[in-house]
Amino acid sequence: MRGARAHWWSWLAGLALWCAGAGVAAPATVAPLVLDAETSSIPLSPRIAYRHDAGAADGATEAFRRAEAGEFQPLPDGTPTFGFQDGAYWFYLPLVNRDAAEPRWLLVQEYALSDQVDLYLRYPDGRIEHASSGDHAPFNSRFIRYRYPNFRLDLPPGQRVEVLFRVQSESSMQVPLVLYTPKAFAELMRDAQFSTGLYYGIVLALLFYNFVLWVMLRDGGYFWYLLHTGAFGLVLFTLNGYGFEYFWPNWPWMADAAVPLSICLALIGMQQFSRSFLELRERWPAGNRVSLALIGFFVLLGIASFWLPYSTSTPLASRMVLLGVLWIIVATIVMLRRGYRPARLFLLAWSLFLAGTAAFTLLAFGIVPRNFWTLNGVQIGSALEMLLLSLALGSRYAGLRNENIRIVQETNEKLERSVVDRTRQLRTAMAQLGEANVQLREYSRRDPLTGVYNRRHFREALEQALAARQGSGGPLALLLLDLDHFKRINDTHGHLAGDDCLNHAARRIEEVAAPRGGVVARFGGEEFVVILPGLDAQEALQVAEAIRLRIHQLPVESGGKQIRLSASIGLHTVDGERGDAPEEIIRIADEALYRAKDDGRNCVRHSVSAA
């Protein structure tokens, strides 16, 4: 009653001034909003008045005084969106509750990112109640655990209660205030849970589906799609207040940093996914470098968002969303003009995403009004974009598979056409290979330095000669030869001279032994071995002496010098019924060789067993 009397006195005073022609316009008053039984929820934007306190200097008392003085103005076009602004915004509206059954109401600011929100209720008896919220206050300070700041309003039936609402934030200044009855708010939460669950259900389904494909196919494009989808889901989780509600309810600083950080992470994911999908590295290197430069910028901005003021990092990140998507569309158009067919569906997906993000960004800067499409443009655009991108990935993979099949078919046809030529070439190659194998076999039997047979072939030849002797019973002689003082030759004249000496000795041995059917081999180092099948002890002794003389009498020409050689020879003859093993024959010949060395070298000694 006291408040009603004060209202009448104010009205009469204004009428008296008007009648007196004071020449000053009466202060504009805000008509109270009447709540009746038919009202369950009502947006306050068409009825509320506001004032921009640029210096954020006014308190509640001063704001109430200014409201009474008519300094508050209606919202421009009824839109509670002002973009990024400094200072504080005050909103004022008297309420009269005519519904005796609903004394309690809920005031919800349907924007999640405001930093500091204060509610003042002034009752007819002058009492003022204050409550605060926003993402700079702990989440549990809210009346109801809900992603949007909300306040309980006690509105006694028939009384005029003045609502004064203050918002100060480095985020976009959006203050959509809606008044709900408890029942209407419960229905709102049910519908919001359904729509939110539907959107994030789509996101999770796409993530799981493409994760399985990535695990199965190991295609990098699916991994980058997962990064983009998950990161952008985190962006919306943050922008819609769920991050503050579920992830960091007691970390107000994280509520600020999470917005630009999640946006940068999503921008990195979308740029990297686009690079991979469009194959920019191979198909357009210049465009690939631009995408890498953008990724580098987003990485730096994401790191800097931990220190930059929110009012700097968030508007910059929001603008970069548009720039990043525009660049992807430009790159996609370029790839389409270059004949890359998978880019068609890709272009449609990013165009829808651009439309949704543009609407949301323009709303954040206060350029477009709040409505269903601007509020939900990001969710709608991103959901369609994620679906289309998933289809585009599948289409691209199918295209690659079909191209591989086509290439395989063409290759098979070419292979069939050229099989005759290939077969002919193969036969020719096989013949040449056979000749080469014969040569290689011969090379494998020869000593690479002297050209005589090597030790391995000597063992085979000795075993074959012994096997042939068992059938015929003829004699077999074995010479084991060692060049005398060969180490002295190497030390005095060098190893190249030593090689010349070995080659010289091998030629002299072959000159004597080959005409008599002898098999000459290098046994190791400066040692040679000669198999003389069919020669008895006397004949073998003559051959051995001839070899010794040939080596000793003919000097070696090496490096302009003449080097005299001599050789010690051990001889062993197998005849009659004896059938010694190869190792035993070599051992006996080796003993004879050592006797030749002990007897002064440059001589031939016959084995004792043979003697």
User: Which entry of 435, 526, 545, 583 is annotated as an active-site residue?
Assistant: 526
Can 584 be counted among the known catalytic residues? no
Would you say 453 and 520 are in contact if contact means Cβ atoms under 8 Å apart? yes
Q: What Rg value do the Cα atoms of the chain yield, rounded?
A: 51
Q: Cα dihedral angle (93, 94, 96, 101), rounded to 10 degrees?
A: 50
Q: Which residues, in sequence order, are bridge partners of residue 604?
A: 569
Residues across the chain: 611
Q: Please, is 439 exposed, middle or buried when counting C-beta atoms within 10 Å of its C-beta (0-12, 13-18, 19+)?
A: exposed
**Token digits for 28?**
């504009």
Distance CA(268)–CA(529), nearest Å, equals 78
Distance CA 386, CA 205 (A): 11
Helix intervals (H) in 21-108: 60-68
How far apart CA 441 and CA 522 sit, in angstroms, is 17
Q: Using CA atoms of 374, 380, 385, 386 in order, give the dihedral in degrees to the nearest 10.
A: 140
Interstrand relation of 33-35 and 88-97 (parallel, antiparallel or unpaired): parallel
Beta partners for residue 90, in sequence order: 51, 166
Q: Which amino acid is present at 446?
A: R
CB atoms within 10 A of CB 562: 9
User: How many C-beta atoms lie closer than 10 Å to residue 547's C-beta?
Assistant: 26
Alpha-carbon dihedral angle through residues 388, 392, 398, 402, given to the nearest 10 degrees: 130
- For residues 234-266, b (16+ Cβ closer than 10 Å) or e, as one string? bbbbbbbbbbbbeebbeebebbbbbbbbbbbbb
C-alpha separations of 39 from 78, 91, 164, 184 in Å: 20, 21, 21, 10
- Catalytic amino acids? 526
